[in-house]
Amino acid sequence: MCGRTSLFVPRSELEDRFEATVVADGGYRPRYNIAPGSGLEVVTNDAPDEIDRFHWGLVPPWAEAVDDGYINARAETAAETRPFGDAWANRPCLVLSSGFYEWKDVGAGPKEPHRVHREGDPAFAMAGLWQETTVDEEPVRSVTILTTEPCDVLEPIHDRMPVVLCRDEESAWLERGPAERQALCRPYPGDDLDAYPVGRTVNDPGNDDPRVIEPAETEQRGLGDFGG
């Protein structure tokens, strides 16, 4: 699964990278520790030249509350699964990220958090689906991140990973039909993905600053444990 992400590239670089303009309410600010229920910066097939912010957790039309959303969808079954079928067919989006986090089960003791990022690319795109619905008479635009089997880098850490798109696949994800997009939902094929352990600072979503991405050994030498 993908349950925590980040986006902290400067706004001008973000806009240049995706050839899109930030239109999100409140503008844009770097964030190092984005949890479900927060907003995610997205580029949708309806507005490929805009960077907006949608609620993380796809809210189906029958939901009674915004918190009833789905943060992830399995790429293998999304087309046939009720909350995602229509979005899969009609509403793909890019979910923008500077790196996401996964937790490794190390047996005894707490799981070990890792940061996963793409070397040489300060912002990249994960494959997502978006939905617009109404909850309590208020319009809600929401998003889910598609997941797939792990690549070689992620396999020792977790049994799932987000669908990370190669740079030359981003337009195809937004523009092509379901069958062609399905072919893009596979373990990341590039050799530029890297992962390293970080400190437990990331466990608390209230910690949202550069400490979160520091390698664990650096934190142990002097920053201390700021997380739960």
Q: Would you give the distance in Å from CA 218 to the centre of its chain?
A: 25
Quote the pLDDT of residue 225: 38
- Which tokens go with 58? 């796809």
Cβ contacts of residue 177 below 8 Å, gap of 6+?
A: none
Contact 180, 172 (CB under 8 A): yes
- Name the residue with tokens 């050839």: 19
> Each residue of 167-196: pLDDT tens digit?
999 999 999 999 999 999 999 999 999 999
- Name the residue with tokens 């939902």: 185
Quote the pLDDT of residue 224: 38
Residues with catalytic function: 2, 102
> Each residue of 114-158: pLDDT tens digit?
999 999 898 999 999 999 999 988 899 999 999 999 999 999 999
Tell me, what amino acid is at 172?
A: A
Helix (H, G, I), strand (E, B) or coil at 225: coil
Quote the pLDDT of residue 155: 96
Q: Would you give the distance in Å from CA 144 to the centre of its chain?
A: 8
Quote the pLDDT of residue 226: 29
Quote the pLDDT of residue 222: 38
* Fold entry, domain 5-222: hypothetical protein yedk fold (3.90.1680)
- Name the residue with tokens 């964030």: 31
Single out the residue of 167, 172, 157 nearest to residue 188, CA to CA: 167
Tell me, what amino acid is at 224?
A: G
pLDDT at 210 over 50: yes
Hey, where are the domains in the chain? 5-222
Separation between Cα atoms, residue 182 and residue 119, nearest integer Å: 25
